[in-house]
Structures are given as structure tokens and as C-alpha cells.
Amino acid sequence: MFSKAVPIAAGFTRPLVLSSRTTRGECQSTVGAYVVLNAEGWILTAGHLLDIVRQQQESVRTHRGYRDNVVQFQHDTVADKRFRKKGVRTFNHPRAVSVRNHSAWWGADGARMVEAKMLPDADLALGRLEPFDPASIAHYPVFKDPAGGYTPGRSLCKLGFPFVRIVPIYDEGSDTFTLPAGSVPVPMFPLDGMFTRIVNTRAPGSREGTLSPFIETSSPSLVGQMGGPVFDAEAVVWGIQSHTMHHPLGFHPATPGGGLEHVEHQFLNMGLAVPTNVIMRFLDAEGVAYRRE
């Protein structure tokens, strides 16, 4: 059903790899996806991915600020030696285990985000990449017209980069990360599901935020697909993947060999995506061009 749509959607769906190195020297990465909107390099992705970027950048700045302050303070020849040693303890010390180095790879070497806008209640982020080659995108996405409504039972497809484990390599001398051989191109994975309903809920990590509508599908949004598109058989985009909601089924079967007191709770995992009515209002408010159905 989606054999024609997936190659089209793959053309405007790209990976986002967030590499980090902790104070223990451990390197790890978070993989997500984003959708390229237009020839100016504007993109859409899940807001919680940019939250990770922001948090890691703040951690890196804390480490660098602490190090620079200590070096400057200890080289203060006017201050008494004992005072200098005592004063170092008053600086804002980074957490014992935290991110010391960070990098975001936007699916192309050298690309960086130069503008960013957030819609936190909808878990949606808008950004612009530089440098950006418009010729690298054969087809820009077409978004579903919300005036046509969202009909339950429609088959939809999700696209992104799940089931990928990338352990980046950090170079201390150049303060850069490289991805190990075989990591690129990051393999895509499509997953179909049925549109079930519109769910009003809070975005990931928002306990007190305003309720926002999300498209629900009968299959989960997989880790690595967040920020990627949800589209129909014609490759028309219905939404941007946000997170997965876990519905308890009310079944509590005993686990074989686990004893009567050990039961297994069962859930149905449903994917949630930001619908096009929310997306279009956001893009219109920011003056960003896009194609609509």
C-alpha cells in the first residue's frame, strides 16, 4: 500500500543524531528524525529532541565556564593562595555525572541549526539549517488539509530511524565526534497503522502544560522515528510523530514460573503525532512557507 509513498517521504525525512560524552568518558547518542519543509532549509521535528539539545548545550557551557573560572582564579597573582583555594569551591560545580561534550548531526556534515522556534504544548519544533542545498530534496512534503477532516480507519505510515545503535567516537584534540564506519546512511524503517482518533493530552515531559490534540494510530511511534512524518498512501503528511501512549488493557495474567503474586500488566502502545491543523497554525504564525493538499 505504501510502496510508492515511502520513497517520496524518504526524500524529505532525515536523521538527527545527538552525540554526547559524559564526565566518565562514556560516549552515547540519541537518534531521531526531522522533516525538511522548503527550499529555505526550514525543518520540523519533535520538540523534546530540541530539549535534549538545549539541556546538553547547557551542561557543556557549565563545564567550560567552571573550568575557565578555575583557571583564571588560580592564576590571580594578587589573591592569597589560601583564599584562591577556598574560593574555587564557591564556583558553580557541574554535576558529577553529566554531559561534557556534545554535537548534533543533521544528516549532513557541516549543517547546523541557526534559528529555532518551539511549540512546547504540542511537542513541536521548527528550525532552519545552514548550509542547506535545496537540490538535495527532490520532493518537499505536502500537508493534509485539515478542513477535510481526519477519518478513522485510514491507513497511515510512520517513517524514521529506529532499531539503530550508534556509539560515536570523540576526538579530544579537535573536540569533535565522528560516527563509526557503517553508521551512515542511517537505515530507515517504515511502520504502518490505522488512524483511530484525535486524543487531547499533554506533550512529553509536560505535567502542567495545556492539553493539545494529537493524531492517534494503532501502532507505536518507535524510538528513532520521533520527529518524522506520518503520511498516507499518496505521501500526504498527516502529522509529525511525537510520542507513544500506553493504554492499560486491564489484563493481569500470572507470569509462568513467577508465582501467584507476580502478574504481568498488559498495554496497547499507540503512536501520537501532531496534526496538520496545529502544524499549519504554527507555520503561518512564523511566516514559514509550506505546501498544503
Q: What is the mean pLDDT of the chain?
A: 86
Cα separation, 120 vs 253, in Å, equals 38
Predicted confidence band of residue 256 (pLDDT cuts 50, 70, 90): low
CATH of domain 5-292: 2.40.10.120
Q: Does residue 253 have a cis bond before it (omega within 30 degrees)?
A: no
Contacts of 293 (CB under 8 A, 6+ apart): 142, 143, 144, 145, 148, 236
Mean local confidence (pLDDT), 239-267 = 78
DSSP conformation class of 134: G
pLDDT digit string, tens, across residues 55-114: 888 877 776 654 544 444 444 444 555 555 555 444 455 555 678 888 899 999 999 999
Q: What pLDDT is attached to residue 175? A: 86
Residue 16: pLDDT above 80? yes
- Kind and range of the H or E run holding 82: helix 81-88
More confident residue, 91 or 153: 153
Q: Judge residue 49's burial from the number of C-beta atoms within 10 Å of its C-beta, 0-12 exposed, 13-18 middle, 19 or more buried.
A: buried
**Pick from 9-23, 82-96, 114-128: least confident:** 82-96
pLDDT given at position 91: 47
- Give 156-197 pLDDT, tens digit per residue: 999 999 999 999 999 988 889 999 999 999 999 999 999 999
Judged by average pLDDT, the poorest of 82-86, 149-153, 154-158, 238-242 is 82-86
- Percent of the chain with pLDDT strictly greater than 70: 84
Predicted confidence band of residue 203 (pLDDT cuts 50, 70, 90): confident
How far apart, in Å, are the Cα atoms of 32 and each of 14, 105, 162, 213?
A: 9, 10, 8, 22
What are the residue ranges spanned by the domains of the chain? 5-292
For the four alpha carbons of 80, 86, 92 and 97, in that order, the dihedral sign comes to positive
